[in-house]
């Protein structure tokens, strides 16, 4: 299982606010941890990169990408009574925002507030039947006037739901930022393990920026381009299908605690998929396979088309209740994913042919 120190780091990383475009705080937490065993730098787009050199001077470069941003909100307007209006950063179901506590990164520090909505008692019968929209909601920060609110917040300030990590039985954790700060954690944990016994390849863990809004690849595309990588493994979350209301015939069978999910098809390199699958079977590690006929809606989509093409795989962590304040994953799956990635990287040498001949 994960070490106690890795779990402490994980909690600190998940609890630090950092929606897309505002990832600086969790990125600093990530780089501080990475600097204990790797060479670390950041780039202008907001990516953080940690490198462990391989044992061979001609070894290929492998990028491990997990995006560090989370979904959030951004302040767009403050009315005369001091109520704050907002737009989403990333994809929200507005129903989960109703009555939530919020935490904004204001000009003088964190600003707390609550999301307001007309009480059900005051709604007309036809209003009660309608789902809430973002435009029906506001944030109350306790201000009496617009001027008072603007002393706390500025237009363009970002916020997240004010919810810290909790631990549940069976090695499960709950956090608002599992998607996909957990990927940034896994790639760094994999690099930590690789560093104890490196193979021929140079391996770079990348905590990438702006995935939740980066329809053209976000920071992952920039990182892959700048590093001139030969192979990449994107780490993200996928939908766990072991809870009520999910049709497995449509979404496959991926269970919390059932090991990492390996995507096959679409943008995924057959060569790297086989490397991961064969390594999992050699380690006698449980895993499942997700079939993707088109794009994957992850960093993998941006990475695989950089430069002359990058042999890219997608490894995912089963996640319940995605894009909600209470996403849930298993620590066992994180441990297995990190071990699988580190061991797969050790199998790659200068002789590895990434073309599926």
Q: d(Cα 64, Cα 187) in Å, to the nearest integer?
A: 6
Q: Are 191 and 52 contacting, i.e. CB atoms less than 8 angstroms apart?
A: yes
Q: Are 176 and 163 contacting, i.e. CB atoms less than 8 angstroms apart?
A: yes
Intra-chain end-to-end CA distance of the chain, in Å: 38
Q: d(Cα 189, Cα 186) in Å, to the nearest integer?
A: 5
Cis previous bond, 194, omega within 30: no
Beta bridge partners of 235: 315
Beta strands 261-264 and 231-239, pairing class = unpaired
Residue 319: CB atoms within 10 Å: 24
Annotated active-site residue 23? The verdict is no
**Catalytic-role residue among 33, 189, 211, 343:** 211
347, with CB counted inside 10 A (0-12, 13-18, 19+), is: middle
- Return the active site residues: 211
């Amino acid at each position: 299982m994960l070490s106690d120190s890795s779990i402490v780091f994980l909690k600190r990383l998940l609890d630090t606010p950092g929606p897309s475009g505002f990832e600086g705080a969790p990125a600093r937490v990530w780089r501080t941890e990475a600097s204990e065993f790797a060479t670390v730098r950041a780039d202008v787009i907001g990516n953080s990169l940690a490198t462990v050199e391989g044992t061979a001077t001609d070894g290929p470069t492998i990028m491990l990408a997990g995006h560090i941003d989370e979904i959030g909100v951004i302040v767009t307007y403050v009315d005369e009574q001091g109520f704050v209006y907002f737009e989403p950063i990333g994809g929200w179901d507005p129903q989960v925002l109703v009555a939530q506590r919020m935490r904004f990164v204001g000009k003088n520090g964190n600003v707390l507030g609550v999301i307001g909505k007309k009480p059900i008692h005051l709604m007309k019968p036809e209003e009660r039947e309608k789902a809430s929209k973002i435009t029906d909601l506001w944030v109350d920060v306790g201000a009496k006037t617009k001027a008072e609110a603007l002393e706390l917040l500025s237009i363009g300030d970002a916020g997240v739901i004010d919810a810290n990590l909790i631990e549940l039985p069976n090695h499960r954790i709950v956090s608002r930022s599992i998607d996909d700060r957990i990927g940034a954690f896994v790639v760094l944990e994999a690099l930590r393990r690789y560093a104890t016994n490196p193979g021929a390849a140079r391996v770079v863990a990348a905590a990438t920026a702006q995935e939740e809004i980066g329809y053209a690849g976000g920071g992952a595309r920039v990182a892959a381009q700048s590093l001139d990588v030969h192979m990449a493994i994107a780490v993200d979350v996928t939908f766990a299908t072991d809870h009520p209301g999910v049709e497995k015939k449509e979404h496959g069978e991926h269970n919390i605690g059932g090991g990492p999910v390996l995507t096959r098809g679409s943008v995924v390199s057959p060569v790297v998929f086989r490397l991961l699958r064969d390594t999992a079977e050699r380690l006698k590690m449980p895993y499942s396979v997700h079939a993707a006929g088109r794009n994957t809606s992850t960093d993998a989509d941006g990475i695989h088309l950089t430069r002359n093409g990058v042999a890219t795989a997608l490894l995912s962590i089963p996640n319940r209740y995605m894009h909600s304040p209470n996403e849930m994953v298993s620590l066992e799956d994180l441990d297995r994913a990190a071990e699988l990635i580190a061991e797969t990287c050790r199998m790659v040498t200068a002789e590895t042919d990434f073309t599926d001949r």
